[in-house]
């Protein structure tokens, strides 16, 4: 059992292409998502994000593995999925271009099995939420890319499903529309009481939106943690000590076997930069300096933003 709403177990997808080539798009991926969590699935192009999303939505058969909903309902049947999940797939094409904003929201609710007459309040609520009121009776084909994307997401919010999947919500948007979309996502994260999984290759999209990030590369999960922990991990890594005067040879020897440590001296000061992965190493350095009587003027941990962390994780440093 356990307290989850979506459970992905050992999910694997191998695409068989012509000439007996095989592409392992998703490789033994497992994660649980709790009710109300907002999770970012982050990874470069071709990492397997869309494949995972489509397997959850039952648009693609998995090669191996299971997907369960709360109460351990298996997702074998498409209808189990349909009751629980709405999804916006990548690329701005999830709505009918010949129907107006409102007609789209109504028709797509019917498709999900809800009578739009009973969802009138929700439809109006989301038209306002996504700032689409003045476009309510405009056909979707005439909306800007950003507006179309907002409409697609609105359409996924109107039916009261428990889980919403958003695949690359900022893909193909210009700078301004992308900024707008990130603001909308943040608003969704703050105001919606739903479980949301957002995939993206752009860390800016998830940085201020998701409370948890799963990083995936070449079909495998390489990190899955609270965003703060991921950042913290990197804050620990780069330390910079400024020391008045010089350190002794004995101190130098004691520090010598610490990997990724660099000592620079200028005419008055010594600068020690270090890349560490355990706090114990940090304390060891502090002790060596303290015992040798060095005067530490400052300890700084270099600014690391999530972007840098992400790139480093992908580089396989962790």
Ligand X SMILES: Nc1ncnc2c1ncn2[C@@H]1O[C@H](COP(=O)(O)OP(=O)(O)O)[C@@H](O)[C@H]1O
Binding site for other proteins (CB under 8 A): 13, 15-16, 51, 54, 57-61, 78-79, 81-83, 85-87, 89, 91-99, 103, 106-108, 110-113, 115, 139
- With CB under 6 A as the contact rule, the residue among 7, 12, 14, 23 that binds ligand X is 23
CA distances from 264 to 31, 243, 251, 273 (A): 44, 10, 14, 8
Cβ atoms within 10 Å, residue 260:
12
In the bound state with ligand X, the residue whose beta carbon lies nearer, of 43 and 169, is 43
Instruction: Report, in Å, the least distance between residue 55 CB and ligand X.
Output: 9
**Between β-strands 261-265 and 269-275, what pairing exists: parallel, antiparallel or unpaired?**
antiparallel
Selection from ligand X, other proteins, Mg ion, none that 87 binds (CB < 5 to 8 A by kind) is other proteins
By DSSP bridging, strand 6-16 and strand 64-69 are: antiparallel
Q: Select from Mg ion, other proteins, ligand X, none the partner in contact with residue 27, using the beta carbon and a kind-dependent cut-off of 5 to 8 Å.
A: none
**Is 87 or 197 the residue whose CB approaches other proteins more closely?**
87
Question: CB-wise, 60 or 258, nearer to other proteins?
Answer: 60
148 binds, options other proteins, ligand X, Mg ion, none, Cβ within 5 to 8 A by partner type: none
Contacts with Mg ion, residue ranges (CB under 5 A)? 49-50
Task: Give the separation between CA 215 and CA 206, rounded to whole angstroms.
Answer: 11
Residue listed under structure tokens 């700078």: 175
Is residue 27 a contact residue for ligand X (CB under 6 A)?
no
DSSP string, 10-60: EEEEEEE-STT-EEEEEEEEEEEE-TT-EEEEE--TTSSHHHHHHHHTTSS
Distance CA 206, CA 219 (A): 19
Residue 65 near ligand X by CB under 6 A = no
- Rounded distance, CA 155 to CA 234, Å? 38
50 binds ligand X (CB under 6 A): yes
Residue 123 binds which of ligand X, other proteins, Mg ion, none (CB < 5-8 A, kind-dependent): none
Indicate the residue among 158 and 274 with the shorter CB distance to other proteins.
Answer: 158
């Amino acid at each position: 059992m356990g307290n989850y709403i979506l459970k992905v177990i050992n999910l694997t997808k191998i695409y068989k292409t012509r000439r007996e080539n095989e592409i392992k798009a998703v490789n033994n991926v497992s994660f649980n998502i709790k009710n109300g969590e907002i999770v970012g699935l982050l990874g470069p192009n071709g990492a397997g994000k869309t494949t995972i999303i489509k397997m959850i939505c039952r648009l693609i058969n998995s090669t191996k593995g299971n997907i369960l909903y709360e109460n351990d309902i298996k997702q074998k049947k498409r209808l189990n999925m349909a009751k629980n999940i709405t999804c916006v797939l990548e690329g701005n094409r999830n709505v009918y271009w010949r129907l107006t904003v409102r007609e789209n929201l109504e028709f797509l609710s019917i498709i999900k099995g809800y009578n739009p007459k009973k969802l009138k309040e929700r439809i109006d609520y989301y038209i306002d939420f996504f700032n689409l009121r003045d476009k309510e009776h405009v056909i979707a084909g005439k909306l800007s890319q950003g507006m179309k994307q907002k409409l697609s997401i609105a359409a996924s919010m109107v039916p009261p499903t428990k889980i919403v999947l958003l695949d690359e919500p900022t893909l193909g948007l210009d700078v301004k529309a992308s900024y707008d979309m990130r603001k909308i996502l943040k608003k969704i994260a703050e105001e919606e009481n739903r479980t949301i999984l957002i995939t993206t290759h752009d860390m800016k999209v998830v940085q201020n939106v998701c409370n948890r990030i799963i990083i995936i590369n070449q079909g495998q999960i390489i990190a899955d943690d609270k965003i703060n922990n991921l950042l913290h991990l990197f804050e620990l890594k780069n330390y910079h000590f400024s020391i008045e005067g010089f350190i002794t040879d004995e101190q130098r020897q004691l520090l010598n076997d610490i990997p990724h440590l660099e000592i620079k001296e200028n005419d008055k000061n010594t600068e020690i930069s270090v890349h560490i992965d355990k706090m114990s190493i940090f304390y060891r350095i502090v002790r060596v300096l303290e015992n040798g009587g060095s005067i530490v003027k400052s300890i700084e941990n270099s600014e690391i933003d999530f972007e840098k962390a992400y790139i480093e994780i992908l580089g396989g440093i962790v």
